[in-house]
Amino acid sequence: MNFSLTEEQDIAVDSFARFLQAEIKPIVDQYRGEKIPKKAMQKALKLLLPYGMGNGLVAEKFGGYGFDEVTIGLLFEQLAMVSPDISVMILIQMEVGMLLANAPTQIRDSHLAPLLEGDLIGCIGISEPDVGSNISEIKTHAKQDGEDWLISGEKCWISNGHYSDFIVVVSKGENGAASGLALFVVDRDMGYTSANIEKMGLNGQSTAQVFFDQVRVPAERMIAPPGQGLKTMLTLLQGSRPLVGLMAVAVAQCALNESISYAQERKQFGKVIAANQLIQARIADMSIRIEASRLLLYKALDHVHRGLRSDLQAAQAKLFATEAAVEVTRHALAIHGGNGITLEFPVQDLYRIAPILTVTEGTAEMQKLIIGRILLGVAAF
């Protein structure tokens, strides 16, 4: 095992961090406390593309950069420290890019290149109002009508949903003897609509409900036929869950940085609070949780990079990192005392973001059930 970064990775992370401060942070500051408009979000996307954010995981033969998963993780963590909201958009773009890269040729030709160039924003429709982690219970239905399919249903908690120019939608479908979950690429101008959802945090980006009412989709827009959609989505989640975990690490690291600065400046009883044992104990605990999270997450990404089965590692890492972020931001709030709950200090924002990440890409409870099923050989769901 080698825990050191390569020289190329060191250079990439350093130059990317400086770029983020110079080019992306001004966009973030301009819309702080507001939803970032699509035009501004797309501007950020195009600025980030040369660094592999949005196109880095797609192979070079398909127009991407073909970065390894660990390098993408290193860069993604830096982005999430500057803007968790923009990192959500980038994560979804990368997920959609991976789906399209493995799609039939006609779909790659029509959608992949514009996505990788930042001209199109995509999203993925899985969750529904009554269906969360149990994907097999999806109610959105695709009915064959001649050469087309008619899709009806509602999706919920869809990141990039209101920004999206197209959606990769998971739906139930039947095609002769085959039945089960299928995947379709549906353009907005085919007729789906969306509405933003306001949350306790991460409101700078779009999380939306998406509605389908007999939306007509040509058969050539099918990525996976009925019965094959579930396997495709579960494979995708093995690589995306560690990236959600790295968003949590970024949030936690920001909370730790803010807490260290505050403790070194804030005085009580004639001395800075950094000199108090309880403050130092909290800081120590926060740093350990963050470092342990990173090690688990990069191990999971290394498994993905080497083509090894990584569902166990992805679930363990995502669960630990997101729960750790909740604890770290709670400590940060406590260190800041009364100031921590005021809008003047950023820890309150971090405190509200962290719990959201325990739900994203599979709840903490689902991660435990995945881990238990793999280790025990018995499914509890």
Strand pairing partners for 152?
141
Q: State the pairing for strand pair 166-175/178-187.
A: antiparallel
Region of residue 227 (phi > 0: left; psi between -120 and 50: alpha; otherwise: beta): left
Residue 263's CB is within 10 A of a number of other CB atoms, namely 19
HSE of 208, CA atoms in CB hemisphere, 13 A: 23
Tell me which of 69, 77, 95, 361 is the catalytic residue.
361
3-state secondary structure 48-73: HHHHCCCCCCCCHHHCCCCCCHHHHH
Longest CA span, the chain: 80
Task: Quote the CA–CA distance of 71 and 68 in Å, as a whole number.
Answer: 6
- 198 token code pair: 């306001």
- 206 token code pair: 């779009």
Give residues with Cβ within 8 angstroms of 33, minimum separation 6: none
| CATH number for the segment(s) 122-227 | 2.40.110.10
| CATH number for the segment(s) 231-376 | 1.20.140.10
Among 1.10.540.10, 3.40.309.10, 3.30.1280.10, 3.40.190.10, name the CATH number for the domain at 7-116: 1.10.540.10
Give residues with Cβ within 8 angstroms of 107, minimum separation 6: 100, 185, 220, 221, 223
- Give the pLDDT score at 177: 45
CB 54 within 8 A of CB 116: yes
Strand pairing partners for 123?
167
- Give the pLDDT score at 175: 61
CB 185 within 8 A of CB 341: no
- Give the pLDDT score at 179: 65
* Cα distances (Å, whole numbers) of residue 273 to 265, 280, 286, 304, 333: 8, 9, 16, 43, 14
CB 171 within 8 A of CB 150: no
- Give the pLDDT score at 137: 82
361 is catalytic: yes
* Cα distances (Å, whole numbers) of residue 199 to 196, 204, 243, 322: 10, 10, 21, 18
- Give the pLDDT score at 239: 80
- Give the pLDDT score at 135: 75
pLDDT tens per residue, the chain (381 residues)? 788 899 999 999 999 999 999 999 999 999 998 999 999 999 999 999 999 999 999 999 999 999 999 999 999 999 999 999 999 999 999 999 999 998 999 999 999 999 999 999 999 999 999 886 677 788 999 999 999 999 999 999 999 999 999 999 999 987 654 468 999 999 999 999 999 999 999 999 999 999 999 999 999 999 988 888 877 777 776 789 999 999 999 999 999 999 999 999 999 999 999 999 999 999 999 999 999 999 999 999 999 999 998 999 999 999 999 999 999 999 999 999 999 999 999 999 999 999 999 999 889 999 999 999 999 999 887
Domain layout of the chain by residue ranges? 7-116, 122-227, 231-376
